[in-house]
């Protein structure tokens, strides 16, 4: 009785075809690239244009949105000015060093944005950033 050491059936199993795996990964990459920009904004705000670069952050961002008609949102949750101040005071009590961003539509009057900034300061948060959009690139 002799055993055959080199079976052709075992040789076929030892090679894995990675082409279908690469195809599936490319399709998933395309799907994520198409859907990612759609999921980025919750409240539609027309931001003012400035030449400052974007900031990077490690934790979940705390964002106050001010819509065109002056409506207030805290992370996409609609709030009255009193509710906003109370919620921000609770956040400031837990973490006074928390960073907050204000996204205001460029059509919102300056006084309305300053009232929001005052409410943020009254709540005890001092690290406040204003969100803007970079201006469109000019071709030379």
Which pLDDT tens digit goes with each residue over 51-95?
766 655 556 788 888 888 888 888 888 988 888 888 989 988 888
Task: Check whether 26 has a pLDDT greater than 90.
Answer: yes
* 51 Cβ contact partners less than 8 Å away, ≥ 6 residues apart: 134, 135
Q: Enter the tokens of residue 84.
A: 């906003």
Looking at residues 19-30, what average pLDDT do you find?
A: 94
pLDDT at 21: 92
CATH fold of 62-130: Nucleotidyltransferase; domain 5 (3.30.420)
Nearest to 131 by CA among 59, 40, 68, 66: 66
Query: pLDDT category, 137, cuts 50, 70, 90?
Result: confident
Determine how many CB atoms are found less than 10 A away from the CB of residue 123.
Answer: 19
pLDDT at 57: 53
Residue 37, beta-bridge partner list: none
């Amino acid at each position: 009785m002799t055993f055959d050491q080199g079976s052709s059936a075992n040789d076929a199993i030892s090679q894995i075809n990675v082409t279908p795996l690469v195809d599936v990964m490319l399709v998933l990459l395309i799907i994520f690239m198409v859907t990612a920009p759609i999921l980025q904004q919750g409240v539609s705000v027309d931001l003012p244009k400035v030449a400052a670069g974007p900031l990077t952050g490690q934790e979940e961002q705390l964002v106050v949105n001010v819509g065109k008609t002056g409506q207030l949102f805290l992370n996409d949750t609609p709030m009255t000015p009193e509710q906003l101040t109370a919620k921000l005071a609770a956040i400031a009590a837990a973490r006074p060093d928390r960073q907050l961003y204000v996204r205001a539509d460029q059509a919102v009057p300056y006084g309305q944005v300053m009232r929001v900034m005052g409410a943020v300061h009254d709540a005890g948060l001092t690290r406040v950033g204003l969100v803007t959009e970079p201006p469109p690139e000019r071709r030379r």
